[in-house]
């Protein structure tokens, strides 16, 4: 039995934020700025003399490109006078992407699938790609330049200066400047009608979560000011918070026609009514729609390699961006592929059938190890090729008992540590691995991979032994000894102990895992039933504290993303239908907003939240590792939620698709294939 392939996570933070001045972006995509010879310590909280921040590291010289070339479909538009020549569409110094295998060939349509019309994450990101303020480099560990080619911090990381690449243009040809960042932040995030809750946590700092100040020094220089040290903001900028509208930039020239600050009132009112909306905010959100970091509205200008040009109830159409700002080493403007068809296929089995029948060209998000026999058969028949990538899934399924549900007896039950331990050790993880993951995973507790700077030997071993006898003993010790005629345990009231687990069927490993949990927990006298429901409804029910137990992929295995959204260290749901203490979360983060829900948490939970805040303002890496270890140790002591099996990820594609590396890292924590520059994927013809 092979174990999951693991990421080689180097200590990337030593090359970035905590030198306090980050490295400049490289000219060739995927080559992160080199680390300094030794880590630069952050200044003390009250230095006698301020320590000067080191100068940004200079990027290696860009390859010399003597001539630029373009796709035949664009050359035809140039010939017809409908588009400027390629050299006038590119910036003065376009980013040069070194192909993973070879310089590609133009042409072709990539066909992929998503589960619902708005689910552009997963394969959409892997093929269409995304462009962010900064980006995760090809090593999947470090951060390099994105739309902004370099950045630096002041001595205490309360100010960050970002430098936009010069000459960038939106997909409609309009220049991109720092005014597009001000539009996104000041006119959108700070607009009370458009964003009632204000900016997200990425753009807040300090105990009081004060929103940052954004200043456009000039068209290409942006300054962010924070109320407290914010050294890890670069992690946000290289992840979802660094994307278009909803992230950190938006096309002002396009969006202002839908915004009352700029639009003619009569014209805007007419546009709202014509679109059958009631408010301008609805029209604005529809026209500026971004789905999982990808421009998702027809007509919306973007900076990505592909932009949406059409949609249908059954599929979306994305075509190449004629102003895309990257070229290969031979001077060919990217992307190589002409078009991407994004099919909407809700049924996972149907998606697999269509993949193996040749109707789809690429799949990674909806491939499951339980189907490996089918995949291998198709590979033998030369219909597909299979790459087994490292995964950010340190646990394919994480189980979250809600320790603060409305049901008082269930609340008391879940808040007992021995109960949570019993539920964990009642799981036969080896069987889950064999049945659900084709034996390719590794039974383990929620823990980062051993290559993480935050890992400690033994993290993955806490309460994972399969021991239903001990689980029964623990429940007996807690006083739940009474059983009914069917053998189920009873609450003191005489009601059977049990609950309904509602889950999102989009996450394909969850249903078969929960089917096995029904039997495991029955063996210890617990009645567990499951119910698939829409993710939107799941979120609503979680917010209302109507969930009794939630489930999610344990996609936290990245030192870049884990400090931002661990989903396990405290009860904060971060907008998803998950968590282990909704009422405690409300008390800690939204006190006064939901008075009927909030409940003061115990001391250990308060400590988790307090240390979490401290982690994000601490400049010294060694101190941050120490804080993180305290969080993990507390987590394993109380076990508020638990994992199942860590798994690799099968990435499957047509044999002729080229420039996809055989080894990579797949998951939410790396935005799927974005670090390997999917704009240079191509169909190789004989």
User: Which residues does residue 340 pair with via DSSP β-bridges, in sequence order?
Assistant: 110, 318
User: Which residues does residue 161 pair with via DSSP β-bridges, in sequence order?
Assistant: 152, 223
User: Which residues does residue 501 pair with via DSSP β-bridges, in sequence order?
Assistant: 530
Q: Which distant-in-sequence residues (6+ apart) come within 8 Å of 21 by Cβ?
A: 53, 54, 55, 56, 152, 153
Other CB atoms within a 10 A radius of the CB of residue 265 amount to 9
Q: Which distant-in-sequence residues (6+ apart) come within 8 Å of 461 by Cβ?
A: 444, 445
Cis peptide bond N-terminal to 553, omega within 30: no
Q: What is the rounded CA–CA span in Å between residue 97 and residue 76? A: 24
Tracing tokens 């137990």 back to the chain, one arrives at 549
Say what the pLDDT of residue 1 is: 34
In the chain, what are the helix, strand and coil shares in percent, each to the nearest 5? Answer: 30, 20, 50
Say what the pLDDT of residue 246 is: 82
**Inter-residue contact 561 to 554 (CB < 8 Å):** no
- Tokens encoding 96: 């040069």
Say what the pLDDT of residue 62 is: 54
Write out residues in the chain with pLDDT < 50, as ranges.
Answer: 1-60
Helices 468-477 and 417-425: angle between axes, nearest 10 degrees: 160
Tracing tokens 């003399």 back to the chain, one arrives at 49
Other CB atoms within a 10 A radius of the CB of residue 554 amount to 29
Backbone angles phi, psi at 349, to 5 degrees: -65, -40
**Inter-residue contact 392 to 667 (CB < 8 Å):** yes
Say what the pLDDT of residue 18 is: 35
Q: What is the rounded CA–CA span in Å between residue 373 and residue 212? A: 52
- Tokens encoding 321: 């961006």
Residue ranges of E strands in 264-407: 290-291, 294-295, 306-312, 315-320, 326-328, 339-344, 362-363, 385-391, 393-401
Q: What is the rounded CA–CA span in Å between residue 124 and residue 674? A: 10
Q: Count the alpha carbons within 13 Å of 539 in the hemisphere toward its beta carbon.
A: 6
Say what the pLDDT of residue 34 is: 31
Residue ranges of E strands in 584-668: 642-643, 645-646, 649-653, 657-658, 665-666
Got the DSSP string for 127-196? HH----SEEE-TTSSSEEESSEEEEEE-TTSSEEEEEEPTT-B-TTSPBP-THHHHIIIIIIIT-TTT-T
DSSP single-letter state for residue 11: -
**Inter-residue contact 167 to 92 (CB < 8 Å):** yes
- Helices (DSSP H) in 335-478: which residue ranges? 348-356, 372-380, 408-414, 417-425, 429-436, 468-477
What pairing do the DSSP bridges indicate for beta strands 657-658 and 527-532?
unpaired
Say what the pLDDT of residue 23 is: 36
User: Which residues does residue 658 pair with via DSSP β-bridges, in sequence order?
Assistant: 682
Rg (alpha carbons) of the chain, rounded to whole number: 25
Say what the pLDDT of residue 395 is: 95
Burial of 49 by CB count in 10 Å (0-12 exposed, 13-18 middle, 19+ buried)? Answer: exposed
**Inter-residue contact 325 to 165 (CB < 8 Å):** yes
Say what the pLDDT of residue 63 is: 60
The model carries a pTM of 0.86
Structural domain 393-646, CATH architecture: Roll (3.10)
CA nearest neighbour of 65 among 103, 96, 26? 96
**Inter-residue contact 580 to 400 (CB < 8 Å):** yes
Where along the chain do its domains lie?
393-646
Helices 348-356 and 372-380: angle between axes, nearest 10 degrees: 10
Say what the pLDDT of residue 28 is: 37
DSSP single-letter state for residue 618: -
């Amino acid at each position: 039995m092979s174990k999951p392939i693991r990421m080689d996570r180097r200590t990337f933070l030593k090359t970035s934020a905590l030198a306090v001045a980050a490295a400049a972006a490289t000219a060739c995509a995927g080559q992160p700025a080199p680390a300094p010879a030794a880590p630069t310590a952050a200044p003390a909280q009250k230095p006698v003399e301020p320590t000067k921040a080191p100068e940004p590291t200079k990027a290696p010289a860009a390859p010399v490109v003597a001539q630029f070339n373009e796709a035949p479909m664009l050359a035809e538009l140039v010939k017809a006078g409908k588009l400027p020549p390629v050299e006038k569409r590119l910036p003065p110094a376009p980013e040069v992407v070194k192909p993973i295998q070879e310089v590609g060939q133009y042409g072709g349509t990539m066909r992929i699938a998503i589960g619902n019309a708005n689910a552009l994450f997963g394969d959409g990101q892997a093929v269409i790609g995304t462009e962010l303020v900064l980006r995760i480099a090809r090593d999947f560990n470090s951060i390099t330049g994105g739309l902004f080619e370099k950045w630096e911090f002041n001595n205490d990381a309360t100010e960050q200066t970002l430098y936009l690449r010069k000459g960038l243009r939106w997909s409609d040809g309009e220049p991109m400047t720092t005014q597009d960042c001000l539009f996104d932040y000041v006119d959108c995030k700070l607009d009370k009608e458009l964003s009632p809750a204000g900016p997200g946590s990425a753009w807040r700092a300090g105990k009081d979560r004060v929103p940052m100040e954004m200043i456009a020094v000039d068209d290409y220089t942006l300054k962010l000011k924070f109320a407290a040290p914010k050294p890890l903001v670069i992690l946000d900028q290289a992840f979802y918070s660094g994307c278009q509208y909803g992230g950190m930039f938006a096309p002002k020239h396009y969006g202002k026609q839908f915004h009352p600050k700029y639009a003619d009132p009569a014209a805007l009112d007419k546009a709202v009514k014509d679109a059958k909306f009631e408010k301008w905010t609805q029209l604005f959100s529809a026209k500026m729609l971004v789905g999982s970091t990808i421009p998702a509205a027809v007509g919306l200008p973007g900076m990505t390699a592909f932009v949406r040009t059409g949609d249908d109830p059954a599929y979306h159409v994305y075509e190449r961006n004629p102003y895309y700002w990257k070229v290969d080493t031979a001077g060919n403007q990217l992307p190589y592929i002409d078009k991407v068809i994004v099919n909407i296929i809700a049924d996972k089995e149907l998606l697999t059938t269509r993949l193996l029948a040749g109707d789809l060209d690429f799949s990674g998000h909806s491939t499951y190890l339980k189907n490996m026999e089918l995949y291998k058969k198709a590979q033998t028949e030369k219909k597909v090729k299979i790459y087994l990538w490292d995964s950010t899934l340190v646990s394919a399924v994480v189980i979250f008992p809600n320790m603060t549900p409305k049901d008082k007896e269930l609340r008391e039950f879940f808040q007992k540590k021995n109960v949570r331990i019993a539920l964990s050790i009642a799981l036969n993880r080896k069987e889950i691995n064999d049945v659900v993951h084709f034996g390719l995973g590794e039974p383990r507790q929620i823990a980062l991979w051993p290559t993480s700077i935050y890992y400690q030997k033994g993290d993955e071993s806490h309460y994972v032994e399969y021991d239903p006898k001990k689980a029964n003993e623990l429940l007996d010790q807690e006083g739940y000894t009474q059983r009914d005629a069917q053998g189920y345990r009873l609450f003191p009231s005489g009601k059977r102990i049990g609950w309904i687990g509602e889950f999102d069927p989009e996450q394909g490993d969850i249903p078969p895992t929960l089917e096995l949990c029904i039997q495991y927990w029955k063996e210890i006298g617990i009645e567990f039933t499951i119910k698939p429901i829409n993710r939107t409804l799941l979120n609503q029910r979680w917010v209302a504290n109507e969930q009794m137990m939630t489930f999610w992929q344990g996609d936290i295995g990245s030192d870049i993303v884990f400090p931002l959204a661990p989903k396990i260290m405290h009860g904060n749901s971060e907008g998803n239908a998950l968590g282990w203490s909704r009422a405690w979360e409300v008390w800690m983060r939204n006190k006064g907003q939901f008075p009927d829900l909030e409940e003061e948490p115990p001391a250990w939970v308060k400590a988790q939240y307090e240390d979490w805040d401290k982690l994000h303002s601490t400049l010294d890496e060694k101190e941050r590792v120490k804080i993180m270890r305290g969080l993990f140790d507390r987590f394993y002591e109380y076990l508020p939620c638990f994992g199942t099996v860590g798994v690799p990820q099968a990435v499957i594609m047509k044999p002729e698709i080229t420039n996809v590396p055989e080894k990579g890292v797949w998951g939410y924590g790396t935005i799927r294939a974005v670090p390997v520059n999917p704009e240079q994927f191509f169909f190789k013809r004989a």
